[in-house]
Amino acid sequence: MHPPEEWNWEKYETKLGISKDRIEIGKNLFDKVQAICQTKQWSLIPRFNQYAIHFKYSSRNVIYISYWVSGQFCHLGFKLGKPPEQLNIVDPYADAQHKFNSESGDFYARVEEPNLDINGYIPFMEAAYRNVTKE
């Protein structure tokens, strides 16, 4: 049995062909999510996978940054469990493309700007953290 392949920013670019611009968006999101997690004192561990970086609580995903090959867009996602409207939270970036997946309980938004201020997504992060940790 082979150990799982390790992924990183360079592999996203070389193996998946993700553009430098999209890599920069992901890196900026990664730094901002990590800073918010530290401020909130959440012990979420980032794990790089083939198409996503998951911020995990134990083995469960809470927040993620994903690259989907079709269009190579970068997405910021949250494991909410319920639609945001049921949690009384609203996407602060109304013109952003976003979706709630009822099967997985994930809400995700497409991020197209490397300098996006993600503080508007803190309520989503808090709701995902509560949903997964039950705290």
Alpha helices in the chain (DSSP H): 9-14, 20-40, 122-133
Within a domain: residue 84?
yes
Give the count of domains, the chain.
1
Within a domain: residue 62?
yes
Within a domain: residue 58?
yes
pTM: predicted TM-score of the whole model, two decimal places: 0.92
What does the pLDDT look like over 1-55, one tens digit per residue? Answer: 666 778 999 998 898 888 899 999 999 999 999 999 999 999 999 999 988 999 9
Q: What is the pLDDT of residue 71?
A: 54
Q: What is the pLDDT of residue 3?
A: 67
Helix (DSSP H) and strand (DSSP E) numbers for the chain: 3, 6
Residue 87: domain span: 14-133
Within a domain: residue 8?
no
What does the pLDDT look like over 47-100, one tens digit per residue? Answer: 999 889 999 999 999 999 998 755 567 899 999 999 999 999 988 887 888 999
Within a domain: residue 7?
no
Which three-class secondary structure state does DSSP give residue 74? Answer: strand
Q: What is the CATH number of the domain that holds 23?
A: 3.90.1150.30
Alpha helices in 15-121 (DSSP H): 20-40
Burial 34-61 (b: 16+ CB within 10 A, else e): eebbeeeebebeeebeeebbbbbbeeeb
The rounded Cα 4 to chain-centroid distance in angstroms is 21
